[in-house]
Structure 1
Amino acid sequence: MTTSFSTVLAEKKLIDQMKAGDPVAFGKIYDHYSQAIYGKLLKFVKISAVADEMLQDVFLKVWENRHTLDSNYSLKPWLYRVTENEIYKFYRKVALDVKLQTHILQTFDELYTHTEEDYYLKESRKLLQDAMTDMPPRCREVFELCRLQGKSYEEAALQLDISISTVSNHLVRATAIVRKTLFQSTDMAMIVVTAYMVYR
């Protein structure tokens, strides 16, 4: 059952109690937010077992970082940022883990036929192009060289006549833009393909 916070002061009190190490307060916060967080996770990853595991990871981070929380502010925005980070980490893991890719494809086998492969490849390229359109010119150049052409930071820096640290900074910004674009899609198959195109 979801716990309701009748006032902002009620949440503030629970956060303060949790910061002091009170597991009961933590449990009440979990009860209040877990259903919404789980729904967000499941919307993106589509696999209940994966969403369950990620939900536990999100709230483990709440407990581990409880001392840094400010009870003067609502916990919800911070929780949703942590949740989005977990989703993004999952996409990257899928892109880099062949076994996980196989598992995801098997999971979607009943939903998507092989005849749709070209569609997802085409749409994923469009999703990536949309993200690149939002990037500043130099940022886009660095992203294309390092992520799409597979060049090293050193090679990109030499080609663009910029420092390696500048290349790194541009990639951080470009990755944030791609991440934002990915979150606009709720189709896991398309997200997996797009993530693979970026991080393969």
Structure 2
Amino acid sequence: MADYGEYSDSELVGLFRSGDDAAFKEIYIRYDKLLFLYAFNKLRNEDEAKDVVQDIFLWLLKNKQSLVLKTTLSGYLYKSTLNKIFDIFRHRDIVQKYVDAGEYYIEVDNEDTDYLIREKDIARLIDQEISAMPPRMKEIYELKRKHYLSTKQIAVQLDISENTVSNQLKKASRLLKTRLGLVVYVLYIMNT
């Protein structure tokens, strides 16, 4: 009996496409826990993370004959997982009100284009939430995040105390975390 643990990912994909169920089982064993942890770290919801991983592997089973990888198996699985996560973000209550406004979902064939569209949509949601802040809070937050001024520089420019600036920045961060969700907020902070 063959030891499927010895096969490379590309060999396993070839065997799987030809109908070898043991190859699929090995792919599942290699990646189910890793994909779950990846999904859980982004979603912070165990059930949703499990569902994402199950959906990915179910899709693989249903489409094994037509499966063509333009990248590595791991790259494909992680990208598929990320796309599912974005789908979940799109359907969460916080984002749903913007989806209902229309023009949110655009069907595209290219996965990179799809990812960029979703990234732009998230950036637009963040900008809308910043625009909805009270005027002084918005001004302070934009001076910090868009103009990269220090707390002291903002205080001098606006002729207010550094303590007031710090408090407004904390309130703005809490507001964005609440309205956007922690994961989207962290992604935003990491990219600014």
* TM-score, with structure 1 as normaliser: 0.47
Q: Higher relative contact order by CA 8 Å / sep ≥ 6: 1 or 2?
A: 1
CA radius of gyration, larger in? 2
TM-score (structure 2 length as normaliser): 0.48
